[in-house]
A and B are shown apart, each in its own frame.
Chain A
Amino acid sequence: MNGRLMAVELFKEAFNNRHEIAKEWKSAGRKVVGHFCSLVPEELFYAAGILPVGLLPDPNNRHLGQAEARLPSFVCHFTKGLLEVLGSEELDYLDGIVSPFTCDATRALFGIVQQEKANKGFFAFIHSQTMRNKGAYEHNIKEFYRLIQNIEDYFETTISKEQIHEAIQIYNQNRFLMRQLLEKGVVSGNLSGSDFFEVIRAGVVMPKDRHNEMLRVLLRHLEGGRKILPNKPIVVSGSTLESSSLFKIIEKFGMPAIPDLCFGLRYFLEDVPGDTDVVEALVLHSVNRSPCPCQVRVAERWDKLVSIIQKYCASGVILISQQYCDPCLFEAPYVKMTLEKHGISCLDIEVEETARIEPNFEARIDFFLKALQLGGS
């Protein structure tokens, strides 16, 4: 196994050991808080010595009996998977859960878990990403301070601006390294989409300073490395993928994959600005970062993505929506039309679960990628 592969293995290991990592963090007398969404300002928790971890369904567990008994049938697999894992003992170590303003399923999930886990801290975070007027900005500042206050009150701690500043620096370093990895690894064909997925996924569940160290090692191994994927990249756009199965299909065609996902570009593309008060900086970042499908700025989102597609000479886009994921499904026809206007090939699929791509969808993806290789769409 070469250095690059070994370095990637460490990320896979970290994700597989996510519960142990969290418990290790707690063993030092610290707290762990879970979240479902990349809009959460993790820096505020990190500043308080609390480990924020993205909660993801267990990709190896196909049995969702607990969740299905507590949710309507018409809810996305991701939400069901989250409720299943939250209902198990695996996450008993969580001290709290934080949820921002996202989709209908997530906010309902938050309410359900809040009822069932009375012994945990719950932090609803209701900032505006809709408008950028003065009222919205002032509201967001107050909302961020309220979140800080709630964290301080619940965990009986204090969060100083210096601590927030330090956390921002660590997180910005992480974003910078992830962008480096995107350019030097993924776009250059040195790192497959599935390996990049493993790197991102590990970053969501482990302390960012440790993730940064591992990223530096991986980047060193990529220097002067052999190009393993000779073809132009594909952009994969959606919300959250539960496994790397889609990326593995893409790799068969020698194509790197750029993830326009909640825990993908949206998680690391923009830094928290460094030239202003730290709370204001977090507010500005939350408003100006790449919008997700839950937000109102769809045209802006897609203009931005089109520029990324053009910048990295991507050959096409796979638009993947989970069944019942309203934010993505509402957008899909418009996105497809926008991309086509720009001459960008697009495959639009609605899958029951993203962890396992069913054979009929795999056949469609194969066909689309073959057509791209042949220069058509």
Chain B
Amino acid sequence: MTTSHSDKHYKATEKVSESIKQYYRESAEAASHGEPVILATGNFPVELLYAMNVVPWFPENYSALCSARQVAGRYCRIAEKNGYSKTLCSYFKCGLGSILESGGPFGGTLRPKMIVTTRFNCIPHIKWWEILARFYEVPLFVLDGPHVVAAKMEDYHYEYMVSQLEDLIELIEKTTGKPYIQDRFTETLELANEASRYWRWVLDSRKNIPSPITLSDLATDMFVSVVLLGTQKAVEIYRQLYEEVSEKVKMRQGATEEKIRLAWDNIVLWYNLGLFNYFEQHDAAVIYEPYISDTWGGVELNINEPLKSLASKCLNIWANFSLELRAKRYLQVVKEFHIDGVVFHSNRACKPFSMGQIQLAKYLQENGIPSVSFEADMADPAAYADGQVKLRLDAFLELLKMKKGLL
């Protein structure tokens, strides 16, 4: 197995890397001073948590961090030794393993006052968070909602989610002692919207040929959307990213030598982000991925209907899309982003992202878009075979180049 970090193209991305360290240090410091910590799932409406002045902390993001620092495998084995099946989500196993060992980068998981999750994304979001709530003996809040976003959602689906978010606000007030202040909430949403506008622009800038930015940077940059949205810091970083990317667009410069334009399907390999540089070494740019663009894709919130808007945002994500919706979306982005082929990562740790990929590949093939698939794991390098994966990718890239008359 050969894994490596990715080389970044932007100073703003370096700033994101710094902000990751800063976030984890500052969160730990705030917790040590008694500030209430809430553990949340990755697509929980973080804006609400910042508005209520609590410290949001994201176990999934932490597992991704552990993986990038090449310690996730060790923590996964600890969870397995404690009775958890090796087939379970590696984010979960890594997170739990580090808790059981009382270790991990930046001092490990922060002790929470309460725990919040969503029910509609995946089973691990329920079961893992239940385990955390039992471990820390703190209240668990589960945001419920439809688990398949199809063509038409009913109003009462959103009304139900809004009623739960109202309940959540009350529970946070009661559990943490932090009051809900309407003006602060509005201010947080405005900050989130400002950052999201920059972010959306950057994501869409990849429609340009050549693309000014690739997944090599964006896999790091997305941290801001997941963890910092609703803060001034998020606005500053994404504004800088926007300015740098704008310059490239003006100069018609690509992030890399770009002969092939690819979409990446599924969560990235956190222990091997260097794989995206491997594509670049072969003149291929990864310029679209539902994992970021259709999950943390810079959605603007309606300040006049904030809770409904938050509900809609966290519900309308790729993991919740029906297969039909996913297929339609792919056809749209293939056209808009001028994509030559799709790389499917069949992720052993994530069924919602992985099941249906075979059908999508077939659908794309019928529409003239070739794809390749390999099996691995988003956080645990034990399930990754570098040689085999690259053999497949090499053949795929060669095929695409031949198809474009480049060989």
Contact = CB atoms under 8 A, between A and B. Distances in A.
**Are A and B interaction partners?**
yes
B323 interface: yes
Nearest to B143: A130
- Interface size range on B against A: 35 or more
B154 A111 contact: no
A75 B355 contact: yes
A370 interface: no
B351 A329 contact: no
B153 to A, nearest CB: 10
Contacts of B283: none
B124 A130 contact: no
Contact of A115 (B127, B156, B346, B359): B359
Contact of A107 (B128, B140, B148, B160): B148
Contact of B134 (A71, A73, A334): A334
A102 to B, nearest CB: 9
Given A298-B130, A330-B123, A128 B160 contact: yes
Interface string A270-295: 00000000000000000000000011
A70 B359 contact: yes
Contact of B83 (A108, A136, A332): A332
Interface in B340-388: 346, 348, 351-352, 354-359, 375
Contact of B88 (A70, A108, A142, A330): A330
B326 to A, nearest CB: 9
B207 to A, nearest CB: 28
A69 B359 CA distance: 10
Counting chain A CB atoms within 10 Å of each CB, the highest count among B82, B119, B160, B324 belongs to: B160
A72 interface: yes
A92 interface: no
Contact of A326 (B82, B83, B127, B327): B127
A72 B375 contact: yes
Contact of B352 (A108, A109, A131): A108
B142 A71 contact: no
A331 to B, nearest CB: 7
B395 interface: no
Contact of A124 (B130, B148, B352): B148
Interface string B69-96: 0000000000000111101110010000
Contact of A126 (B123, B126, B146, B348): B146
Contact of B144 (A72, A107, A130): A130
Interface string B153-175: 01011011001100100000000
A207 B348 CA distance: 39
Contacts of B200: none
Interface of A: 69-75, 101, 103-105, 107-112, 114-115, 124, 126, 128, 130-131, 133-136, 138-139, 142-143, 146, 294-296, 298-299, 321, 323-324, 326-327, 329-334, 336, 348, 350
16 contacts: A69-B358, A70-B358, A74-B351, A105-B351, A108-B355, A111-B323, A111-B356, A131-B144, A139-B160, A296-B142, A326-B123, A326-B124, A329-B88, A330-B131, A332-B85, A334-B134
